[in-house]
């Protein structure tokens, strides 16, 4: 392993779309050094290596695990193998930053938590939305008590579709709830973090969207949290035309006021309470070139926790409770009935 003064040496596994965001983040984290990458498609790994300026390329993640000079893996592979790779990394003495969802079943999530405890290695589910400046401003406003106790949240994050009809075969095996499970981990985590509570009851509904696509492109979910607050989420990739900008809208009703966030046009976080109207997070934004870009922040804080032994910014046990709620929502989507979340 690296000396205390040397950068944490990182291997990135899975060189698809999200890996580019992680690469942009590492450029702002001097405490970490990308030294290797891995993808089952060698051309993808080589292309990523070229952009990252690294020469060590693998097509089998097991070849990464046998290296004693790699301290940490950053798992950006497809969802279905996140748990398998994470457990292998922890058992080989490496720390693991795991893209969401960090597991596909509660049993997989519990296995990662248990393996991290047994090995003394650190693992964390990547939740970049927490570090978006507008969401940090929103969380600070909520924690300050500016609107009293939050009782209702509406969260909407629409964008243009991920998929194209000329690539229909690539999606043929994906289940109808793929959008909910893949992107809903962000929504459920953001809500649980903002409300400082876990889901206890969920009810999800969906719309299939385009006929050629097995994935349902619109999913909405009603959530009740342990503290009594309720929320409504909306996962929407049905919007046309292609190129519709990704944005986030959050509306929070509290016992003493209302918070209103919309970043598509104004980048503003507005507070309405007994003191009137305030813009607590006006024009808070980011770009990949800035050190405050969310992927840099989550990587930086995870690496620092690894290096110092400090608290993880997103505890694995917290992510496990988020996963329980999310998978209960997937069950609700399949049955059409509300589902109690089992802890």
**pLDDT tens-place string over residues 104-129:** 999 999 999 999 999 999 999 999 99
pLDDT above 70 for 2 = no
| Listed residue (183, 186, 190, 176) closest to 236, CA to CA | 183
Confidence bin at 265 (pLDDT 50/70/90):
low
Nearest to 4 by CA among 89, 93, 71: 71
DSSP string over 171-190: HTT--TTHHHHHHHHHHHHH
The mean pLDDT value for 267-276 works out to 80
For 94, the token pair is 């490496």
Whole-number pLDDT of residue 1 = 47
The encoded tokens of residue 173 equal 């095996």
- Judge whether residue 277 has pLDDT over 80: no
Residue 183 has pLDDT above 70, yes or no: yes
Q: Is the pLDDT of residue 46 over 50?
A: yes
Average pLDDT over residues 78-105: 97
Per-residue pLDDT averaged across 287-313, rounded? 93
Average pLDDT over residues 62-69: 97
Question: Average pLDDT over the chain, rounded to whole?
Answer: 93
Residue (of 66, 17, 13) closest to 37 by Cα position: 13
Whole-model pTM: value is 0.94
Q: Residue 245: pLDDT above 50? A: yes
Domains of the chain, each with CATH number or no CATH: 8-127 (3.40.50.720), 129-293+322-340 (3.30.360.10)
- Give dist(CA 301, CA 281) in Å, integer: 22
Rounded to 10°, the helix 316-335/178-195 angle is 130
Q: What is the pLDDT of residue 123?
A: 98
């Amino acid at each position: 392993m690296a000396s205390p003064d040397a950068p944490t040496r990182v291997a990135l596994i899975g060189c698809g779309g999200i890996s580019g965001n992680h690469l942009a983040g590492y450029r702002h984290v001097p405490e970490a050094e990308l030294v290797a990458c891995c993808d089952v498609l060698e051309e993808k790994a080589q292309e990523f290596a070229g952009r990252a300026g690294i020469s060590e390329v693998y097509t089998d993640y097991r070849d990464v695990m046998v290296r004693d000079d790699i301290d940490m893996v950053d798992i950006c592979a497809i969802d279905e193998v996140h748990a398998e790779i994470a457990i292998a990394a922890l058992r080989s003495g490496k720390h693991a930053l795991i893209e969401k969802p960090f597991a596909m079943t509660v049993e997989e999530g519990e296995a990662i938590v248990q393996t991290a405890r047994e090995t003394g290695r650190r693992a964390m589910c990547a939740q970049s939305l927490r570090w978006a400046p507008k969401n940090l401003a929103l969380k600070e406003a909520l924690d300050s008590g500016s609107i009293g106790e939050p009782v209702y949240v509406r969260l909407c994050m629409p964008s243009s579709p991920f998929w194209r009809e000329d690539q229909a075969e690539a999606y043929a095996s994906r289940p109808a709830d793929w959008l909910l499970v893949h992107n809903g981990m962000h929504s459920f985590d953001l809500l649980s973090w903002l409300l400082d509570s876990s889901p206890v009851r969920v009810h999800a509904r969906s719309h299939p969207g385009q006929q050629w696509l097995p994935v349902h492109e619109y999913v909405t979910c009603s959530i009740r949290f342990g503290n009594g607050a309720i929320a409504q989420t909306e996962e929407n990739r049905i919007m046309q035309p292609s190129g519709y900008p990704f944005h986030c809208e959050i509306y929070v009703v509290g016992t003493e006021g209302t918070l209103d966030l919309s970043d598509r046009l104004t980048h503003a976080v507005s507070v309405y309470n007994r003191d009137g109207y305030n813009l607590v997070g006006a024009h808070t934004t980011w770009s990949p070139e800035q050190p405050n870009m969310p992927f840099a922040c989550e990587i930086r804080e995870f690496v620092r926790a690894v290096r110092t032994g400090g608290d993880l910014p997103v505890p694995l046990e917290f992510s496990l409770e988020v996963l329980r709620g999310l998978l209960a929502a997937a069950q609700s989507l399949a049955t059409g009935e509300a589902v109690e979340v089992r802890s």
